[in-house]
Amino acid sequence: MKARKVRGLDPDGPVAENAARIVAVRLDELVSFTPRVFDPAEVEALHDMRIAAKRLRYVLEVTGDLFGPYANVARKRARELQDLLGEIHDCDVLEPRVLRLIDELREEDVAAVEAGGEPVHAGDYRGLELLVVRTRARRRELFRRFLDFWTRLERDAFQARLTYAISERPVPA
């Protein structure tokens, strides 16, 4: 997913002003995947949201201290979200791979039987099918956790608080 362009950046301007513009765009990008991501079948949107969370996390990792205290809380939340969506993505990659492998083994066995031999992969199917079952169950559980996590973020006014935090400039101690 290509990152949205951030307009108005000025290399000679204060770092906090420039960074605030970037965070605002990255935050907007992240939130833009709702409500699509509330549908578990929206695999691509979930994947893109993970990338958006990663981009927000990395910009806050470098610039978070220039803003109000919630910026660093938001950095942690973005990381948690990225990790959770990353695990969902791993399941989305794993299941079709295992299913493809089962198909390949089955085709090899069909060819072997056709040629008058015995299936050579008979011992593989059960374990691979169980892996698909476990992966699918885990994906459902992770998706439920994602919905809970996002609901908590919304309840905690994540977007509004981060937007406010990037307008704050802490006074140096």
Partner 1 sequence: MARAAAVRLTPDMTFAQAAVLAVGVRAREVWEHGEDVLDTSDIERVHAMRVATRRLRAVLEIFAPCFDRDRHRAVLREVKALADALGERRDPDVQLENLEGVEGVDAFRARLRAEQQAGNEALAAALRHAEDIDLRGQLEALVAEARA
**Residues lying near partner 1 in the complex (CB under 8 A):** 3, 9-19, 22, 54-55, 58-59, 61-63, 65-66, 90, 94, 97-98, 101, 105, 121, 123-124, 126-128, 130-131, 169-170, 172
Q: Judge contact between 84 and 146, C-beta under 8 A.
A: yes
With respect to partner 1, which residue has the nearer C-beta, 21 or 38?
21
With respect to partner 1, which residue has the nearer C-beta, 10 or 114?
10
Rounded least distance, CB 3 to partner 1, Å: 7
* Token output for 135: 């992966």
Cα 11 to Cα 58, 63, 65: the distances in Å are 19, 15, 19
Q: How far apart are CA 22 and CA 169, in angstroms?
A: 16
What's at 77, amino acid-wise? R
Rounded least distance, CB 168 to partner 1, Å: 11
Rounded least distance, CB 163 to partner 1, Å: 19
Rounded least distance, CB 92 to partner 1, Å: 13
Q: Judge contact between 101 and 121, C-beta under 8 A.
A: no
Other Cβ atoms less than 10 A from the Cβ of 89: the count is 18
